């Protein structure tokens, strides 16, 4: 029995065939909306309401909160209370807040530096949404002095540790095959810790975002899309090795450091963490191994000195951008999205480094269970876990 070729159709005819079901779908949705089949089940209960706080600003005028509505219908903020006392407020823009829209609620409340405050918003249906300000501190403003200070902190926790790690490059050359395997496995270990840590932080932030963003699904889908896209780019001209692989490691770590900068900037703006010297030193020590991981694939080549400067900038520079974004325009869903993209990038680097490690050894899969590889991998995990204790607040 021979296969029959389908009849050829003109592009216009195929377009018409596609438009017919699309028109049917649109007509069905319009009919369902006009019919309102659930009207008969209405028992007088108020519509489901949801309100999430995306940003809080404390300044000389009082407290300002950016809220996003996520209920089934438009909702109206009727009253605002701070520390169990009702206060006057203004809303910008005024009127009911439709699903997915955001408004600024401005409260002329004399907040107290260093103290905790609780803000409660009451809708016209009586539903109460509370938001706690753990430590009241003035929100940083976008001025030259503030941006310079944040850039300095970002450079200390991002650029400096990567540069210090890359200084190990001369000492790492000529370590032999087992030493090379251990260093590559060390890179995979530290990246594996970053992957787990970033994914956990992304899911935590996604849980704080409005339900309409579907936080958990957004994190996993963004990470998968980032991984697949970077894999496609990386394999476009074959498997990356040497300097190309080092660049991908630096890129993945750079996206991670952007997310780390977001967390630091957001915590700094919210007053939820004090960026003391000990904490900054902890971040720097935690990130030193990133430079070692970037240098590992280049041990069999002699890159120019400017290459190390570029790799340092790619891996550490995003921490400065993250600091600025986190302190000046923080929102949980966008921070979660950035961390998810970073997790996908880290996973892509793990796959490429592991593949490179296997290609450098004739026994391929067996080398993954050799003492040098297992020791390097577990050492990378242990170092990152131990130093992470210094930066968890």
SS3 of 252-320: HHHHHHHHHHHHHHHHHHHCCCCCCHHHHHHHHHHHHHHHHHHHHHHCCCCCCHHHHHHHHHHHHCHHH
Mean pLDDT of 117-130: 89
- 3-state SS class at 62: strand
- 3-state SS class at 128: strand
d(CA 219, CA 214): 9
Q: What number of H helices and E strands is found in the chain? A: 12, 8
Q: What is the pLDDT of residue 41?
A: 59
Q: What is the pLDDT of residue 81?
A: 93
What confidence category does residue 281 fall into, taking pLDDT thresholds of 50, 70 and 90? Answer: low
Q: What is the pLDDT of residue 98?
A: 87
Residues 61 and 79 sit within 8 Å (Cβ to Cβ): no
Q: Which two tokens stand for residue 232?
A: 């496609």
Give the neighbor-by-neighbor strand order of the sheet with 90-92.
Answer: 51-59, 62-69, 102-107, 90-92
Beta-bridged to residue 1, according to DSSP, are none
Angle, alpha carbons 264-291-255 (nearest 5°): 45
pLDDT at 232 over 70: yes
For the beta carbon of residue 218, count every other beta carbon within 10 angstroms.
17
d(CA 202, CA 218): 10
Mean pLDDT of 69-98: 88
Q: What is the pLDDT of residue 147?
A: 79
pLDDT at 273 over 60: no
What confidence category does residue 178 fall into, taking pLDDT thresholds of 50, 70 and 90? Answer: confident
Signed CA dihedral, 291, 183, 256, 268: sign only: negative
Instruction: Give 214 or 4, the one with higher predicted confidence.
Output: 214
Region of poorest pLDDT, from 99-108, 262-271, 374-383: 262-271
Q: Which two tokens stand for residue 10?
A: 């003109």
pLDDT at 13 over 90: no
Residues 51 and 67 sit within 8 Å (Cβ to Cβ): yes
- 3-state SS class at 50: coil
pLDDT at 283 over 80: no
pLDDT at 380 over 60: yes
Q: What is the pLDDT of residue 109?
A: 92
- Taking each helix axis from N to C end, the angle separating 242-270 and 277-295, rounded to the nearest 10 degrees, works out to 170
d(CA 299, CA 173): 5
Structure confidence by residue, pLDDT tens digits, 62-71: 999 999 988 7
Helix (H) or strand (E) holding 119, with range, is strand 117-123
């Amino acid at each position: 029995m021979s296969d029959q070729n389908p009849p050829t159709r003109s592009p216009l005819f195929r377009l018409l065939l596609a438009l017919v079901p699309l028109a049917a779908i649109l007509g069905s949705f319009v009919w369902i909306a006009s019919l309102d089949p659930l009207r008969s089940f209405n028992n007088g209960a108020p519509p489901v309401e949801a309100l999430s706080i995306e940003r809080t600003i404390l300044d000389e005028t009082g407290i300002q909160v950016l809220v996003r509505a996520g209920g089934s219908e438009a909702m109206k903020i009727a009253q605002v209370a701070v520390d169990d006392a009702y206060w006057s407020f203004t809303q910008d823009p005024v009127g009911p807040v439709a699903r997915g829209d955001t408004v600024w609620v401005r409260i002329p409340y004399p907040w107290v530096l260093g103290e905790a405050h609780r803000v409660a918003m009451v809708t016209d249906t009586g539903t109460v949404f509370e938001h706690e300000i753990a430590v009241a501190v003035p929100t940083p403003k976008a001025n030259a002095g503030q941006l310079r200070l944040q850039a300095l902190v970002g450079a200390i926790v991002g650029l400096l540790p990567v540069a210090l790690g890359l200084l190990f490059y001369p000492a790492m050359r000529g370590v032999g095959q087992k030493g090379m395997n251990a260093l590559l496995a060390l890179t995979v270990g530290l990246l594996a810790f970053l992957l787990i840590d970033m994914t956990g932080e992304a899911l935590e932030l996604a849980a704080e975002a409005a339900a309409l963003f579907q936080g958990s699904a957004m994190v996993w889908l963004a990470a998968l899309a980032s991984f697949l896209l970077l894999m496609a780019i990386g394999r476009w001209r074959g498997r990356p090795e040497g300097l190309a692989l080092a660049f991908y490691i630096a890129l993945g770590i750079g996206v991670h450091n952007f997310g780390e900068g977001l967390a630091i900037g957001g915590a700094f703006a919210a007053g939820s963490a004090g960026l003391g010297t000990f904490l900054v030193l902890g971040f720097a020590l935690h990130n030193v191994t990133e430079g070692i991981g970037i240098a590992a694939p280049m041990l069999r080549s002699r890159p120019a000195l400017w290459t190390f400067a570029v790799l340092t900038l790619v891996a550490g520079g995003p921490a400065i951008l993250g600091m600025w974004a986190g302190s000046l325009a923080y929102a949980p869903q966008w921070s979660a999205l950035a961390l998810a993209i970073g997790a996908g990038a880290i996973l892509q680097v793990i796959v490429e480094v592991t593949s490179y490690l296997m290609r450098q050894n004739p026994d391929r899969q067996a080398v993954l269970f050799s003492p040098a590889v297992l020791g390097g991998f577990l050492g990378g995990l242990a170092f990152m876990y131990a130093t992470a204790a210094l930066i968890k607040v």
